[in-house]
């Protein structure tokens, strides 16, 4: 019998090559509690840090992703760990690989590589996946760099989270000012990257790993990664989709209409996202943001190895559908269906 413990991020990840990935306030304890509550409501055995968790308190439902937190969950009988946290090489969960346990989530060693968005973009580009023009700027050359990308452009953290720390800049003066702020703040490390701004429609596409899924009450086997219906992003602020910690995605996102989902351009970009999932050998859902240029051609511009999995499992969280859940509803899945299908993709180490 599965006994599931949900992990949340308890501390900042280590700096990697001078780059810092920022930490979400609360370390995803909110979505972890959403997951745990929904599973428990539906009769799935969830292990919690306290015996009688309350729906108002996120930390009643989730364990910190430290050696102590993981061991505490094991002591309470957990045999499946939902890695609802930021992973990296030498993450504490790797110390428990030799136990007889299963995991929901990505392999830490893979996340360590592909959380570097600049590296991942270049990797995908080499495999003929359309990526906008990008260039890296470091703190050492911030005053004398030479760019070949035309303005406007977007400046981004290399190990970012969604749209946090992402800015549209329209000229050299704005770029230099933003660089000064980002490097003095030190929240993202000593390098960032810029990419060509795409003026067309923005989509978010969730890619599910290969495996067996329950769809419309039927078991379907997918031999390779596959895409959920594309979600359209609207109401951008200064050209950038607002960070979902400030604006709930339900207020600025909706599944693309059926007629458009079948269009050649969207079918093509979904195929490219699926190809990316296959190249990265994903073990759990990833989220890929895409945007069209002025001619309507879509480019992949942001691959997220840990999409948010918030959901309306508690009264105070009724508006917290994630982008992946919005897409899932188009499949006929509600929150528990999405979570159950993710649970079907558990893996053991080595795999």
Residues 4 and 338: their CA atoms lie apart, in Å, by 16
Q: Are 212 and 312 in contact (CB under 8 A)?
A: no
Q: Which two tokens stand for residue 327?
A: 């897409």
Q: Are 3 and 77 in contact (CB under 8 A)?
A: yes
Q: Which two tokens stand for residue 141?
A: 């050359």
Q: What percent of the chain has pLDDT over 90?
A: 88
Q: So what's the pLDDT on residue 143?
A: 75
Q: Residue 55: CB partners within 8 Å, gap ≥ 6?
A: 37, 314, 315, 316
Q: What percent of the chain has pLDDT over 70?
A: 98
Q: Are 83 and 69 in contact (CB under 8 A)?
A: no
Is residue 351 predicted with pLDDT exceeding 70? no
Residues 62 and 106: their CA atoms lie apart, in Å, by 18
Mean pLDDT (the chain) is 94
Domain ranges of the chain: 4-105, 130-196, 202-343
Q: Quick one: average pLDDT of 51-69?
A: 97
**pLDDT tens-digit series, residues 297-314:** 999 999 999 999 999 999
- Per-residue pLDDT band at 246 (split at 50, 70, 90): low
Kindly report the backbone phi and psi dihedral angles of residue 161, in degrees, each rounded to the nearest multiple of 5, phi listed first.
-135, 105
Q: So what's the pLDDT on residue 244?
A: 58
- Per-residue exposure over 153-171, b if at least 16 CB sit within 10 Å of its own CB, e if not: bbbbbbbbbbbbbbbbbee
**pLDDT tens-digit series, residues 100-149:** 899 999 999 999 999 999 999 999 999 999 999 999 999 988 778 888 99
Q: Quick one: average pLDDT of 51-63?
A: 97
Residues 6 and 151: their CA atoms lie apart, in Å, by 43
Q: So what's the pLDDT on residue 83?
A: 98
Q: Which two tokens stand for residue 190?
A: 């000593």
Place domain 202-343 in its CATH homologous superfamily. ATP-grasp fold, B domain (3.30.470.20)
- Per-residue pLDDT band at 235 (split at 50, 70, 90): confident
Q: Which two tokens stand for residue 113?
A: 């590589």
Angle subtended at Cα 26 by Cα 23 and Cα 32, rounded to the nearest 5 degrees: 110
- Per-residue pLDDT band at 10 (split at 50, 70, 90): very high
Residues 280 and 137: their CA atoms lie apart, in Å, by 25
Candidates 134, 296, 335, 281; CA nearest to 203 is 296
Question: To 10 degrees, what angle do helices 335-343 and 29-41 make?
Answer: 90
DSSP bridge partners of 213: 220
- Per-residue pLDDT band at 161 (split at 50, 70, 90): confident
The DSSP letter of residue 296 is S
**pLDDT tens-digit series, residues 316-337:** 999 999 999 999 999 999 999 9
DSSP bridge partners of 161: 164
Q: So what's the pLDDT on residue 243?
A: 61
Is residue 241 predicted with pLDDT exceeding 80? no
Candidates 71, 74, 34, 69; CA nearest to 55 is 34
Q: Are 158 and 18 in contact (CB under 8 A)?
A: no
Place domain 130-196 in its CATH homologous superfamily. ATP-grasp fold, A domain (3.30.1490.20)
β-pair type (80-83, 4-8): parallel
């Amino acid at each position: 019998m599965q006994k599931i413990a949900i992990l949340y991020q308890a501390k900042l990840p280590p700096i990697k090559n001078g780059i810092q990935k920022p930490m979400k306030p609360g370390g995803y304890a909110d979505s972890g509690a959403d997951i745990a509550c929904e599973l428990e409501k539906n009769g799935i055995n969830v292990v919690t840090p306290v015996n009688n968790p309350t729906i108002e308190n996120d930390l009643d439902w989730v364990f910190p992703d430290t050696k102590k937190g993981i061991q505490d969950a094991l002591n309470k009988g957990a045999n499946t760990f939902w890695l609802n946290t930021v992973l990296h090489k030498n993450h504490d969960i790797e110390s428990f690989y030799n136990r007889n346990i299963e995991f929901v989530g990505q392999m830490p060693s893979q996340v360590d590589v592909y959380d570097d968005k600049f590296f991942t973009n270049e990797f995908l580009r080499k495999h003929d996946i359309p990526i906008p023009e990008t260039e890296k700027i470091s703190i050492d050359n911030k005053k004398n760099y030479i760019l070949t990308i035309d303005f406007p452009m977007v400046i981004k953290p290399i190990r970012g989270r969604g749209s946090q720390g992402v800015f549209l800049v329209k000229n050299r003066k704005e770029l230099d000012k933003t660089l000064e702020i980002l490097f003095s703040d030190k929240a993202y490390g000593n390098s960032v990257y810029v990419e060509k701004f795409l003026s067309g429609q923005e989509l978010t596409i969730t890619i599910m790993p290969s495996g067996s899924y329950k769809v419309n009450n039927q078991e379907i086997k997918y031999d390779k990664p596959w895409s959920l219906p594309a979600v359209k992003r609207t109401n951008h602020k200064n050209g950038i989709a607002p960070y979902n910690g400030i604006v709930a995605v339900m207020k600025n996102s909706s599944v693309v209409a059926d007629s458009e989902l079948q269009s050649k351009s969207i079918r093509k970009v979904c195929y490219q996202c699926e190809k990316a999932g296959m190249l990265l050998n994903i073990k759990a859902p990833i989220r890929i943001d895409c945007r069209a240029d002025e001619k309507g051609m879509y480019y992949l511009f942001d691959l997220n190895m840990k999409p948010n999995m918030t959901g309306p499992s508690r009264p105070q969280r009724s508006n917290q559908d994630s982008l992946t859940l919005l897409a899932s509803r188009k499949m006929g899945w509600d929150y528990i269906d999405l979570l159950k299908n993710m649970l079907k993709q558990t893996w053991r180490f080595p795999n």
